[in-house]
Amino acid sequence: MASQDWVEKDFYAVLGVSKDASAADIKKAYRKLARKYHPDTNEGNAEAEAKFKDITEANAVLSDPEERQQYDAIRAMGSGARFQAPGAGGTAGTGGFEDIFGDIFGGGGGGRRRTSYSTSGTGFPGGGVPPEFADLFGGGGGFGQQAPTKGRDRTASTTISFEGSINGTTVSFRENSGETFDVKIPAGIKDGQKVRRQGKGESGAAGNGDLIITVNVTPHPFFKREDNNLRIHVPITFSEAALGGTIEVPTLTGKMVKVKVAPGTSSGRVLRLKGRGVKTSKVTGDLLVVLDVAVPQNLNDEARAAIEAFAEATKDANPRESLSDKAKL
């Protein structure tokens, strides 16, 4: 995106967050708006499609710390800053050229040593102004000649399903020209990870930059991802917990596998199934099965009598006997 566009667009307002919003606040605001204006839920709604494009663009910049820092700097400069060449013509309080850049890049002010940026282009390595400000000043003219460089990288974001993150998927992007291109999302990608599409950034004398895509993953209602492991909760009956047994649990592939429940299992116990988690190109995680003892809600006469008989047979057992000792300060 050109710096002039950044001056004109208030990405914080687009996402409805303050300028000092944390990364978590920005992510939360984006997800809320993305769900509301996503094309899949607003088919044929041009206004919603435009809104979704705006919030995606805003999130792409503000969710990247480096991009956000550059955006804030350019917005601050575009809010009315004026530049004056240093020298005899400058007066106290006018804020010369080096004062503006000194604040941004750590120099100037408070009697500290300032770095001078002359029109010969010696103020930065290789000469000229920083690349993020080049188009704001009309390119390199008057600031010295620079060696040809690649175009700047662009950023974007996309939201994929949980299944797509597990098995891999392909996402299509549309250029302003109308051209579309596909980006492959690798299997096992995590929420918030980035994918690079080479050559789809801004054009430059030494070639195009790249497109950096932040991938957001829609959560699954049953499988909870923890790094490359998956955690699920599986209910077991009171008798299975007390006496032990064999139960079946679902896996990512949809296949049911059998696991043994040990006698005397308490609610919350975790069983680990090796190699049943998320598979990436480098590693495969495990499936963590949390056993939850289900308390029967509706008892017939026979079941109630059986439990009453059990209670009578175990009335001397007190699982809370040592609580008072544990609670002492």
Question: Is the per-residue pLDDT at 323 higher than 80?
Answer: yes
Indicate the fold that domain 3-137 takes in CATH: Helix Hairpins (1.10.287)
Q: Shortest CA distance to 295 belongs to which of 280, 279, 281, 307?
A: 307
- The rounded radius of gyration (Å) of the Cα atoms in the chain is 30
The candidate with the shortest Cα–Cα distance to 269, out of 285, 292, 248, 249, is 292
Number of H helices, E strands in the chain: 11, 11
Q: Where are the beta strands (DSSP E) in 37-188?
A: 154-160, 169-174, 180-185
Share of the chain above pLDDT 70, in %: 77
DSSP state of 136: G
Residue-wise pLDDT for 48-101, tens only, equals 888 988 999 889 899 999 889 888 888 777 654 443 434 444 444 444 444 444
- The two tokens of residue 319 are 């699982």
Question: What is the pLDDT, as a whole number, of residue 89?
Answer: 43
> In this predicted structure, which of 61-70, 125-134, 308-317 has the lowest mean pLDDT?
125-134
- Distance of alpha carbon 34 from alpha carbon 55, whole angstroms: 7
By DSSP bridging, strand 287-293 and strand 194-197 are unpaired
Region class of 44: left (phi > 0), else alpha (psi between -120 and 50), else beta: left
Nearest to 220 by CA among 196, 248, 250: 250
Helix extents (H) in the chain: 3-8, 11-15, 23-37, 46-62, 65-77, 97-105, 131-134, 162-167, 238-243, 301-313, 323-326
Q: Residue 291 pLDDT > 60, yes or no? A: yes
Q: Which has more confidence, 141 or 258?
A: 258
Residue given tokens 């120099």 in the structure block: 107
In angstroms, rounded to a whole number, what is the distance separating the alpha carbons of residues 44 and 108? 53
Worst-scoring range by mean pLDDT, 32-41, 286-295, 302-311?
32-41
Residue 78: the pLDDT is 60
Pick the CATH number of 154-217 from 2.60.260.20, 3.90.1150.10, 3.40.30.10, 2.40.10.220: 2.60.260.20
Region 224-316: CATH code: 2.60.260.20
Banded model confidence at residue 228, pLDDT cuts 50, 70, 90: very high
Give the per-residue pLDDT at 218. 96
List the structure tokens of 33. Answer: 């708006």
Question: Which residues in the chain are classed under CATH 2.60.260.20?
Answer: 154-217, 224-316
Q: How confident is the model at residue 47 (pLDDT cuts 50, 70, 90)?
A: confident
4 — pLDDT class (breaks 50, 70, 90): low
CB atoms within 10 A of CB 125: 7
Q: Which residues partner with 59 through β-bridges? A: none
Q: Which residues pair with 259 in a beta bridge?
A: 247
- Give the tens place of pLDDT for each residue, 251-275: 998 899 999 999 999 999 999 999 9
